[in-house]
Amino acid sequence: MTKRIRSKISRGSGEIAILSLLAEQPLYGFEIAKQIGERTNGALKFTLASLYPLLYEMEKRGWVEAHWQANAAGRDRRYYRLTPGGRKQLAPLREEWRSFFQALDTLAGVSHA
Amino acid sequence: MRDWQQFTRERLETCPLPAAERDEVIRELAAHLEEGYAQACLEGLSDDEAFKVAQQEIPQGESWQVLAADICRAKQENSMNIRTKTVWLPGIAILFAAGLGLIFLDRAAYLQRFIWIACMAMLFGAADSEKNRLSQRTRSFWLPGFVSMTAAAIFLFAADIAYEPFLFFREITLHPQDLLRMNTDSLRASYLVWLGAQVVFGALGALFSRRAGGTRTSRIAAGSFPAVIIVGTYVVLMPVTSMFSGQAATSPLPAYLTAALLVWVAAPAVAVLLGAAPFIRESNKSRIAESC
C-alpha cells in the first residue's frame, strides 16, 4: 500500500512537472528530463525508464502531442507540446497539489513554500 | 561510433507493439540515450564512462523488460478486449464457481477435472486476448506458474487414465487415507512417473518466467507453482471438503496426514525446485539487459 501511494504521488508530480514545462514551450524527452532536474535542483529526477511511459500515457490521453523535428546538427528529436486538453488539465492539477500541500502543512507542518 | 538504435532494439524486442509503433519508440529512446552519451562525452568523460552514464537511464534494480511492459501499457488502449468481456471472463467465472462447488461437495471427481482444464484453457485465451495489457508480474509469475501447474495437472490425469482408468472415473476424496492408497503396482508406477515429471514442469515454469524477464524470485515461485497449489489444497480444500461431506468426525490420523504431506507436498516440491534450478541462474542475455 505504501509503495502504491508513493508511486501515485510520484506519477502525479511527474504529470504536473511535464505539463508545466510544456506550457512554456515544446520540448523533446531528453530536454524535459534535463530541465526538470535542473529547475528542481535535482529533487525531481526523470530517467528514460520513468519519463517515456508517462509521456506516452499523456499522449494517449490527448494531453500532449508529438512530432519529429531535426535540429541544426541533423539529429532527429520528438518534440512534445501541450494540447488544449492538456492545458485544461493543468489548472485543476495545480489546485489539487496546492490543496495536498496545504493539507500536509496543516497536519504535519510540511510547507511547500 | 555506437549504434544506439541497435542497442535499444535488442533490448526492446519483447515489446509487443505493432512494428511501426515499436520502431518509433526505439528511435526515440535511442535518440535519448545518444543525447545523454554525447553530453557526457562533451563534459570530458571517456567513451566507456559516457556509455555507463547513458546506461544509468535504466536505474539499478529495473530492467528493459519492465520498461518495455510499461511502454506497452502506456500506449495500449485501456478498454478490455470485447472477446475477454463477453466470452472469457463470464466463462471462467461460471466454470470456476461450478468446479469449486463440486470440490467442496466432493462430487463428480472426473467432471471437476474437465472443468478445471477448460477453466485454465479459457484463462490462457483471456491472457492471449489481453497480452498487450498484462503487467510484468503477470507475464513473469502468474502465467508461467499457471502453465506449469496446468501441465502438471493434465499429466496427472493422463497418468491416471493410463495406469488405473477405473480410478479416474470414480468418486475420489481428498482424505489422506485415500491419497496414500498405493496398493497396486500400477498406482505406484503412476505416482513415480508423475513425480519424475514434476522436474520438467518446474523447469517449464522457471523457463517461461525467465523468458518473460522474471526476477530470480519470480522464477522460483513460477517453477514451484504446482507444489504451492498442492499445499493450498491441503490447507484449505481438505478441511472444507471434510466439513461439507459430513466426514469431519472421521478426522485424518496425524500419521496419515504427515505421510500424505510427504508424498504429495514435500516430494513434488523438491522435484519442481530441482527442475527450476538451472533456470534460476541469470542467462548471459538477461544479465546484459539487466546491467544496462
Interchain pair A52, B29: CB under 8 A: yes
Q: Which of A30, A53, A60 sits opposite B32 (nearest CB)?
A: A30
Interchain pair A76, B73: CB under 8 A: no
The pLDDT value recorded for residue B241 is: 62
A75: which chain B residues are within 8 Å (Cβ-Cβ)?
31, 34-35
The pLDDT value recorded for residue A55 is: 94
Provide the grid cell at B129: 486476448
CA–chain centroid gap for B183, Å, is 34
Q: What are the residue ranges in chain B where pLDDT is below 70?
A: 1, 59-62, 77-81, 104, 106-109, 132-133, 164-183, 237-254, 256, 282-292
Nearest CA in chain A to B55: A48
Q: Helices marked H in chain B — which ranges?
A: 4-11, 19-42, 47-55, 64-75, 82-83, 89-105, 109-129, 136-137, 143-163, 165-168, 176-179, 185-211, 216-223, 225-232, 238-244, 254-261, 267-280, 284-291
The pLDDT value recorded for residue B11 is: 85
Best A10, A27, A45, A56 residue to mutate vs chain B (most B CBs within 10 Å): A56
Provide the grid cell at B233: 489444497
The pLDDT value recorded for residue A71 is: 82
Nearest CA in chain B to A31: B32
**Nearest alpha-carbon partner for A39 in A59, A16, A60:** A16
Interchain pair A48, B73: CB under 8 A: no
Q: How does pLDDT run across A66-97, given as a tens digit for each residue?
A: 999 988 778 889 999 999 989 998 888 888 88
Query: Which pLDDT band holds residue A52 (cuts at 50, 70, 90)?
Result: very high
Any idea what DSSP says for residue B252? P
Interchain pair B35, A30: CB under 8 A: yes
Interchain pair B31, A77: CB under 8 A: yes
A8 vs A44, higher pLDDT: A44
Which residues, in sequence order, are CB contacts of B242 under 8 Å at separation 6+?
B175, B248, B251
User: Under an 8 Å CB criterion, which residues of A touch B?
Assistant: 28-30, 33, 47-49, 52-54, 56-57, 60, 75-78
* Rounded CA separation A82/B250 (Å): 71
B36: which chain A residues are within 8 Å (Cβ-Cβ)?
30
The pLDDT value recorded for residue A21 is: 94
- Using an 8 Å Cβ cutoff, are B174 and B106 in contact? yes
**Percent of chain A clearing pLDDT 90 (strictly above):** 39
The pLDDT value recorded for residue A26 is: 95
Average pLDDT of every residue of chain A = 84
* Rounded CA separation B114/B110 (Å): 7
- Restricting to B residues 58-97, those with a Cβ less than 8 Å away from any Cβ of A are 58-59, 62, 66-67, 70-71, 73-75, 77
- Using an 8 Å Cβ cutoff, are B190 and B182 in contact? no
> How far off is chain B from A73, nearest CA to CA, in Å?
12
> How far off is chain A from B78, nearest CA to CA, in Å?
10
Query: Which pLDDT band holds residue A1 (cuts at 50, 70, 90)?
Result: very low
The pLDDT value recorded for residue B292 is: 32
Amino acid letter for position B211: R
Mean pLDDT, residues A23-50: 90
> How far off is chain B from A50, nearest CA to CA, in Å?
8
